Amino acid sequence: MRKMVLNMNSSWFGLDQAIVRAERHPSIGLIGIDLNEGTSGSVTRQWEEEFNWRQWLQSSIGREDIWFGDEMAGHLWLYAEVPLGLCLEDSEAYLRGLAKRVRDAMIAESGGAFYEPAQGTWYREHGIGCSMLHGLTEATPRDVIYEGVLKVASQIRESQHNRKDWELRFELEHLLAESSIKSVYQPIMKLGDGRVFGYEALTRCPEGSLFDGPLSLFQFAEKHNMAFALDRLAREKAIRHCPTLGTVQKIFINVTMSIINDPHFVSGQTVRWLDERGLHPGQVVFELTERSSIDDFEAAKKILAHYRRQGYEIAIDDAGAGYSSLQSIVELSPDYIKIDRSLISMADKDEMKKHMLRTFVRFAKKMNIRTVAEGIERPEELRLLRAIGFDYGQGYLIGRPSEYPTAAIVGAVPKA
């Protein structure tokens, strides 16, 4: 920090020019750009110390209202005139826009060496900072610039510390803009006769995604207020690309209560997607997941009743995996309960699991709720579930998730 103070008190930083400009145009801002970003931590030869920044700015940007201040320790410092009358927030947004324009010109000048192509517009936001400079024409302009440098440097550091978050946010925006997520479909079999009752639509990230799976993708989207856009895209993909369904077959689509609570959840667009595939709401089962809890069951009942009146059905996912799913069953009276794979796995060898599964089935039958066993991987599990009286089942034994699932052949899986 002491080194910066000494430099600030010397003649560097274009201080004199900044003061002269401020006398003619009192709204001046400071921009900082980290030159090390995207170059493995070292400044490229193209931006070495002897580089003529003034000449480059004039030829590449061609604007008189932005000018060179200094290049120091791998950072480019610029001044810019800001339109008069803007509030602080708009002024800093204006400066950030100029910084991104300079960054774009640098990328073009370096032939793309400054960044990875896949980073696109995200990288323009990374490693930059800006601050308005108030009081440059007063007695202590050095202090004003000093405070501005501290603020800009802090913004640059913050963007670097949160790099992973920035990268994920950009990737999510890219996934939404390019509609590059996809749906795969896992068959749900009617255990009584071995026929395919329907498919559960599961979202998958594109190959090479920074997200390690759909759960982290949706959790990140919810954290950054992008869950509705992601859910809408996932729902569109699920419907538009689903396998051809018979008139009584279903498509199960995962949703959260926070999403289904939105008044635009099932819009006219959703109905059009169904019409395009020759489907109707009665063939859609909204599968409530536990990514977010239900705080108001009375409100949830009214919301679900609204969609049921339109013909949609409701399933509670992962029943038996936690208290909240059991409470949801009691409060919401779903059309289906899907029993979590943790209760299904090796249940034929576990008397406690057998007892719990029988209890679920007896309760469901009394309440006129259909049961779906998840995660069936062994013939012994399938035979047990049939004997207990489960209505439907899914799992790797029956069929793995696929973009283009083949219809299960009656008798292809073991019978009781």
Tokens of 354: 């057998």
pLDDT in tens, 53-83: 888 898 888 888 999 998 887 889 999 999 9
From the CA atom positions of the chain, what is the Rg in Å? 30
Indicate if the pLDDT at residue 5 is higher than 70.
no
d(CA 166, CA 179): 19
Tokens of 209: 């995604």
- According to the model, what pLDDT value does residue 117 have? 40
In which band, very low, low, confident or very high, does the pLDDT at 12 lie, cut at 50, 70 and 90? low
d(CA 47, CA 35): 8
In which band, very low, low, confident or very high, does the pLDDT at 157 lie, cut at 50, 70 and 90? confident
Classify 321 as helix, strand or coil. Answer: coil
The residue with tokens 């599961």 is: 202
- Topology given in CATH for the domain delimited by 168-393: TIM Barrel (3.20.20)
More confident of the two residues 143 and 407: 143
In which band, very low, low, confident or very high, does the pLDDT at 52 lie, cut at 50, 70 and 90? confident
Handedness of CA 34, 38, 42, 46 (dihedral sign): negative
d(CA 290, CA 168): 23
Region 365-386: what's the mean pLDDT? 96
Q: Answer whether 235's CB lies under 8 Å from 203's CB.
A: no
More confident of the two residues 295 and 228: 228
Tokens of 84: 């008069």
Residue 207's Cβ-count burial label (10 Å; 0-12, 13-18, 19+) is exposed
Q: Answer whether 285's CB lies under 8 Å from 336's CB.
A: yes
Give span(s): CATH 3.30.70, the chain: 2-161
Bridge-based pairing state of the strands 75-81 and 392-393:
unpaired
In which band, very low, low, confident or very high, does the pLDDT at 200 lie, cut at 50, 70 and 90? very high
pLDDT in tens, 210-261: 999 999 999 999 888 888 899 999 999 999 999 999 999 999 999 888 888 7
Share of the chain above pLDDT 90, in %: 50
Give span(s): CATH 3.20.20.450, the chain: 168-393
Helix (H) or strand (E) holding 409: none
Region 380-392: what's the mean pLDDT? 96
Tokens of 27: 């709204």
Q: Which amino acid does the sequence have at 22?
A: A
pTM score above 0.85: no
pLDDT in tens, 78-104: 999 999 999 888 999 899 999 988 988
Classify 108 as helix, strand or coil. Answer: helix
In which band, very low, low, confident or very high, does the pLDDT at 39 lie, cut at 50, 70 and 90? very low
- How is domain 2-161 classified at the architecture level of CATH? 2-Layer Sandwich (3.30)
